[in-house]
């Protein structure tokens, strides 16, 4: 098999944000093409959006169930290979389950579901079907994060002792629920789930920390706040983490840090040295040593791990960014699917994309961090 994969999208109409990001990520490498979409439950938006994306009229839907039914019914050489689910959190689980049942691979926005229980059900379904599931935790798609993980894995820092991960944003500093659709659903517990900032960006920080260090969180002590008056969910919080190797971490996530953009940052310290990476300066990885100069590892350089290199498109000094990180996940997901279609063994580097296991841990994080914040006890166990 040597062709572009075909995909359909659920959600992501022209009034949405993240759907357009997914489409750019899918388009970039020319490995897949979008052929169908249930882009909105609003028919007018669905149609206009579909036309702007040059979809065939008969493959523009408002009802994802209908779309999945129709796709399942058409000949294999026209049928989609995977769907991307880019709806608000409360509309993740059902379309994902249905798509898997129809035999389609699934890409899905984080957090994976509305509840931990749904996440576990989805995991069972993925395992039953043997299909691929991509959870778009964008930030682990950055090549310097791949590099960081490999350096930790290879023991260059020695045993990990401390992790700081933080994700300050400022866009929810005011009560904009009335004017911003993005703000409205993200702060609405019926659409977003039990957590606000912790679900939206805390999960990214959590995923990043576990990905880079390969440690598992075992206990959490958190303090969540709703800073902006009238808001229904947390918009700020922090948590102490205990990891399974005995080390600790601090996780901070806030959406009321007025003036901040998307300032995700991780620092990891081991016995011998430390790593520092900032999303807003994504092509550099600082590696700090005892008694030696700090080193700046750079995306696109010759000396990087294959996991980093295979996620770069350009030589060092040509900055790649958020969209490329996103595209890396899709490319690895697609390469894995295609390899399996061809009965080939996917490269280890391709298999390194976030999936349903990360989804389950993310939902467990949300449930634990919310429970801890309500508790008077210092520590709450992290139970998956």
Residues 49 and 37: beta-carbon distance below 8 Å? yes
When binding is defined by CB under 8 A, the residue of 118, 132, 169, 368 that contacts a copy of itself is 169
Q: Which residues contact 323 (CB under 8 A, 6 or more apart)?
A: 21, 24, 25, 28
Q: Which stretch binds a copy of itself (CB under 8 A): 87-95, 117-125, 272-280, 336-344?
A: 272-280
Decide if residue 288 touches a copy of itself (CB under 8 A). Answer: yes
Distances (CA, A) of 216 to 122, 274, 382: 21, 19, 9
Decide if residue 298 touches a copy of itself (CB under 8 A). Answer: yes
Decide if residue 309 touches a copy of itself (CB under 8 A). Answer: no
Decide if residue 302 touches a copy of itself (CB under 8 A). Answer: yes
Q: Which stretch binds a copy of itself (CB under 8 A): 6-14, 111-119, 170-178, 205-213?
A: 170-178
Residue closer to a copy of itself, measured from CB, 118 or 254: 254
What residues numbered 221-260 form the site for a copy of itself, per CB under 8 A? 221, 223, 225, 227, 236, 238, 240, 247-248, 250, 252, 254, 256-260
Residue closer to a copy of itself, measured from CB, 86 or 287: 287
Among the listed residues 254, 287, 284, 253, the one whose alpha carbon sits nearest the alpha carbon of residue 273: 287
Using DSSP, state whether 321 is helix, strand or coil: coil
Decide if residue 208 touches a copy of itself (CB under 8 A). Answer: no
Residue closer to a copy of itself, measured from CB, 100 or 144: 144
When binding is defined by CB under 8 A, the residue of 14, 48, 170, 218 that contacts a copy of itself is 170
> Measured from the CB of residue 68, what is the shortest distance to a copy of itself in angstroms?
22
What residues numbered 17-76 form the site for a copy of itself, per CB under 8 A? 17, 20-21, 23-24, 27-30, 34, 51, 53-54
What residues numbered 120-149 form the site for a copy of itself, per CB under 8 A? none
Decide if residue 157 touches a copy of itself (CB under 8 A). Answer: yes
Place of tokens 């919310």: 370
Decide if residue 89 touches a copy of itself (CB under 8 A). Answer: no
Among the listed residues 38, 48, 153, 156, the one whose alpha carbon sits nearest the alpha carbon of residue 99: 38
Calculate helix-pair angle for 203-213, 356-374, nearest 10 degrees: 120
The torsion of the CA quartet 304, 307, 310, 315, rounded to 10 degrees, works out to: -20
Strands 5-10 and 217-225: what pairing?
Answer: unpaired
Q: Report residue 289 as tokens.
A: 């040593």
When binding is defined by CB under 8 A, the residue of 86, 122, 287, 312 that contacts a copy of itself is 287
Residues 328 and 311: beta-carbon distance below 8 Å? yes
The 8-class DSSP code of residue 151 comes to H
Q: Which stretch binds a copy of itself (CB under 8 A): 77-85, 92-100, 281-289, 343-351?
A: 281-289
Q: Report residue 182 as tokens.
A: 């993005």
Decide if residue 6 touches a copy of itself (CB under 8 A). Answer: no
Q: Which stretch binds a copy of itself (CB under 8 A): 75-83, 123-131, 165-173, 347-355?
A: 165-173
Place of tokens 């590892």: 297
Q: Which residues contact 345 (CB under 8 A, 6 or more apart)?
A: 339
Residues 61 and 37: beta-carbon distance below 8 Å? yes
What residues numbered 325-384 form the site for a copy of itself, per CB under 8 A? 375-379
Helix (H) or strand (E) holding 287: strand 284-289
Q: Which stretch binds a copy of itself (CB under 8 A): 66-74, 77-85, 196-204, 297-305?
A: 297-305
Residue closer to a copy of itself, measured from CB, 320 or 367: 320
Rounded to whole angstroms, the Cα distance separating 352 from 240 reads 27
């Amino acid at each position: 098999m040597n062709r572009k994969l075909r995909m359909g999208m659920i959600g992501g109409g022209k009034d949405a944000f993240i759907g357009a990001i997914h489409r750019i990520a899918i388009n970039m490498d020319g490995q897949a093409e979008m052929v169908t979409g249930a882009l909105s439950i609003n028919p007018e938006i669905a149609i206009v959006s579909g036309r702007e994306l040059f979809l065939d009229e008969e493959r523009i839907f408002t009802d994802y169930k209908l779309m999945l039914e129709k796709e399942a019914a058409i000949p294999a050489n026209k049928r989609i290979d995977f769907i991307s689910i880019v709806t608000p959190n409360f509309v993740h689980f059902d379309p994902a389950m249905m798509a898997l049942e129809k035999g389609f691979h699934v890409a899905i926005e984080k957090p994976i579901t509305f509840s931990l229980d749904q996440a576990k059900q989805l995991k069972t379904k993925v395992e039953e079907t043997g299909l691929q599931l991509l959870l778009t935790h964008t930030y682990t798609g950055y090549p310097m994060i791949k590099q960081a993980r490999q350096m930790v894995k290879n023991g260059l820092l020695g045993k990990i002792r401390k992790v700081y991960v933080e994700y300050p944003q400022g866009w929810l500093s005011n009560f904009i629920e009335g004017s911003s659709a993005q703000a409205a659903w993200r702060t609405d517990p019926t659409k977003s789930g039990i957590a606000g900032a912790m679900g939206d960006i805390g999960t990214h920080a959590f995923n990043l920390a576990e990905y880079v260090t390969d440690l598992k969180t075992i206990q959490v002590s958190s303090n969540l706040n709703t800073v902006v008056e009238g808001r229904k969910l947390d918009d700020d919080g922090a948590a102490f983490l205990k990891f399974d190797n005995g080390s600790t971490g601090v996780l901070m996530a806030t959406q009321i840090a007025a003036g901040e953009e998307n300032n995700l940052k991780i620092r990891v310290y081991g016995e011998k040295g430390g790593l520092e990476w900032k999303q807003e300066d994504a092509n550099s990885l600082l590696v700090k040593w005892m008694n030696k100069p700090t080193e700046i590892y750079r995306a696109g350089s010759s000396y990087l791990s294959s996991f980093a290199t295979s996620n770069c498109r350009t030589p060092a000094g040509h900055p790649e960014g958020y969209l490329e990180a996103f595209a890396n996940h899709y490319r690895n997901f697609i390469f894995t699917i295609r390899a399996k279609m061809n009965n080939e063994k996917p490269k280890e580097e391709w298999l390194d994309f976030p999936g349903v296991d990360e989804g389950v841990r993310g939902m467990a994080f949300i449930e634990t961090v919310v429970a801890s914040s309500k508790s008077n006890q210092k520590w709450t166990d992290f139970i998956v």
